[in-house]
């Protein structure tokens, strides 16, 4: 089996929805030229995550439907390129905008529409409507079917996000992002991949975008191999800060063999002991002010 090629579109947004559409299409085409099976955008690509320092009514007016011309253009493009596309957008929703991603397979079929569950309620994202669930779907690719799930940025900071996706069968989690990627956030991604024995691909904005620094990454989750005495580095791609298409090759056969023989993930869980995890938040909270992104 050929490796699954994942293109992270670490690109800076433009000033308008139309310009972001045109640039997004152009970079998907570049990804296909590089041989990508999946192309992933950074968080809220439709308006470049431009929700800070602006009147709320202004950016809320930029929300678009999940079946809008902008979103559906990537369904058409996915079919045209024979390449899956994960496109992100500020979504119009009945209770207020959502921070969403639509995943189209290489036939242009929508497989997932995911809205960020863990909105950043300590900041301007408190004005967004959180998503209600985590989704996993089989994605047909040129190198075979892969089970794909999604989480967005701050979802990464909650182990439950990736754990639920693993329990639903995810082999690969796509993570659109819009914040500085530093050692602790990268460590979270590494941990989510390690503890769930799955791959995590994160696409961030480049350092030319406000409050971002590139650092898009892919962790394949395979910590041990029989031929190695110790553990291995699960990071198979780490981008610098520059704008560009960053391509990772994920060895699905290796990952699946690993999941059949190793002890993490769902192998030895004791869910009957975890009841407190599903309880409402216990007071006191740890933080209410002074948060720094």
pLDDT in tens, the chain (293 residues): 899 999 999 999 999 999 999 999 999 999 999 999 999 999 999 999 999 999 999 999 999 999 999 999 999 999 999 999 999 999 999 999 999 999 999 999 999 999 999 999 999 999 999 999 999 999 999 889 999 999 999 999 999 999 999 999 999 999 999 999 999 999 999 999 999 999 999 999 999 999 999 999 999 999 999 898 899 999 999 999 999 999 999 999 999 999 999 999 999 999 999 988 888 776 666 655 555 55
Question: How many alpha carbons lie under 13 Å from residue 86 in its C-beta half-sphere?
Answer: 34
Q: Which positions ≥6 away from 96 have C-beta within 8 Å?
A: 60, 127, 128, 129
Which pLDDT does position 45 carry in this prediction?
98
Which pLDDT does position 277 carry in this prediction?
86
Which pLDDT does position 290 carry in this prediction?
53
Which pLDDT does position 186 carry in this prediction?
98
- Give backbone dihedrals phi and psi of 58, rounded to 5 degrees, phi first: -70, -50
**Measured between alpha carbons, how far is 196 from 149 in angstroms, rounded to an integer?**
13
**C-alpha 167: how far from chain center:** 17
Which pLDDT does position 291 carry in this prediction?
52
Q: Which positions ≥6 away from 68 have C-beta within 8 Å?
A: 89, 92
Which pLDDT does position 286 carry in this prediction?
63
Q: What is the CA radius of gyration of the chain?
A: 18
Give the position of tokens 């699905």.
252
Which pLDDT does position 192 carry in this prediction?
98
pTM higher than 0.75 for the full model?
A: yes
**Closest CA relative to residue 9, chosen from 99, 144, 29:** 29
**Helix axis angle, 69-81 to 17-33, nearest 10°:** 10
Which pLDDT does position 278 carry in this prediction?
83
Which pLDDT does position 279 carry in this prediction?
81
Do residues 243 and 10 make contact, with C-beta atoms less than 8 angstroms apart? yes
Burial of 182 (0-12, 13-18, 19+ CB in 10 A): exposed
Q: Are strands 172-176 and 98-104 parallel, antiparallel or unpaired?
A: unpaired
């Amino acid at each position: 089996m050929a490796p699954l090629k994942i293109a992270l579109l670490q690109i800076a947004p433009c000033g308008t929805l139309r310009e972001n559409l045109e640039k997004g299409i152009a970079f998907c085409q570049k990804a296909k030229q590089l041989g990508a099976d999946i192309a992933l955008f950074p968080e809220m690509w439709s308006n470049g995550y431009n929700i800070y320092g602006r009147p709320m009514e202004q950016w809320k007016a930029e929300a678009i439907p999940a079946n809008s011309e902008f979103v559906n253009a990537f369904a058409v493009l996915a079919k045209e390129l024979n390449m899956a596309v994960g496109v992100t957008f500020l979504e119009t929703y009945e209770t207020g905008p959502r921070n969403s991603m639509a995943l189209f397979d290489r036939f242009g079929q929508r497989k997932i529409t995911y809205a960020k569950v863990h909105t950043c309620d300590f900041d301007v994202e408190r004005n967004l409507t959180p998503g209600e669930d985590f989704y996993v779907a089989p994605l047909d690719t040129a190198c075979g079917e892969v089970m794909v799930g999604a989480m967005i940025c701050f979802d990464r900071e909650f182990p439950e996000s990736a754990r639920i996706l693993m329990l639903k069968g995810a082999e690969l989690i796509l993570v659109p992002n819009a914040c500085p990627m530093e050692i602790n956030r990268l460590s979270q991604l590494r941990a989510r991949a390690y503890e769930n024995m799955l791959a995590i691909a994160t696409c961030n904005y480049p350092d030319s975008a406000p409050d971002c620094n590139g650092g898009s990454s892919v962790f394949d989750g395979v910590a041990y191999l029989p031929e190695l005495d110790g553990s291995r580095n699960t990071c198979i791609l780490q981008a610098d800060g520059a704008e560009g298409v960053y391509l990772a090759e994920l060895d699905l056969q290796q990952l699946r063999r690993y999941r059949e023989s190793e002890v993490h993930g769902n192998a030895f869980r004791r869910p009957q002991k975890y009841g407190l995890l599903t309880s409402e938040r216990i007071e006191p909270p740890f933080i209410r002010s002074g948060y720094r992104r």
